[in-house]
Amino acid sequence: MGKGACRWILIALIVLQPLWFLWLAPPLLLEPLAAVVIMAGPLLIALPFAWRLGKRALVITGCILLVHFCLAVSEAWVSPQARGPAVVQAVLVALYFTALSSIRFGRGPDQSPSRPSEDRRSKP
């Protein structure tokens, strides 16, 4: 898993929102289209930035996905009708964080450090 996985998991989560709230398990207390806008809107806003694999964008998208994970777990616990899509969403979010943790954001081997480390300094 890696950078590409984060992209495709995010796409899968965006596709899941209308499927869940318009077709598989429409909400009872909220207009289904409003639920799709509330849930998919932030993901759609974050998509172009996360697609470029910027460090901050991927982390901010992860913060948004924490809310999606909490909603998925609570829906899976409470609503038998929404259990299927909720479990799928929770698994996708967990996979996103697994892929995100495998990405290294540090300096590459060809870049020199900005300041010398203790072991590289010459001793007088």
Asked whether residue 33 is assigned to any structural domain, the reply reads yes
Domain count, the chain: 1
Average pLDDT over residues 71-82: 93
State how far the Cα of 31 lies from the Cα of 94, in Å rounded to an integer: 28
Give the domain extent around 24.
Answer: 3-101
pLDDT of residue 102: 85
Identity of the residue numbered 113: P
Which residue carries 């598989």 as its tokens? Answer: 24
pLDDT of residue 112: 47
- Pick the range with the lowest mean pLDDT from 8-17, 59-68, 104-113: 104-113
Asked whether residue 41 is assigned to any structural domain, the reply reads yes
Judged by DSSP in three states, 88 sits in helix
More confident: 106 or 54:
54
Asked whether residue 119 is assigned to any structural domain, the reply reads no
CB 64 within 8 A of CB 46: yes
Structure tokens at 95: 């996979």
CB 95 within 8 A of CB 5: yes
Q: Given a cut of 60, is residue 95 above it in pLDDT? A: yes
Q: How confident is the model at residue 73 (pLDDT cuts 50, 70, 90)?
A: very high
Asked whether residue 71 is assigned to any structural domain, the reply reads yes
pLDDT of residue 66: 96
Q: Which residues of 103-114 are buried (b: 16+ CB within 10 A; e: fewer)?
A: eeeeeeeeeeee
Its pTM stands at: 0.78
pLDDT of residue 114: 53
Structure tokens at 104: 């290294």
Q: In the Cβ-directed half-sphere of 1, how many Cα atoms lie within 13 Å?
A: 15
Q: Given a cut of 80, is residue 62 above it in pLDDT? A: yes
The DSSP code for 119 is: T
Asked whether residue 66 is assigned to any structural domain, the reply reads yes
Asked whether residue 47 is assigned to any structural domain, the reply reads yes
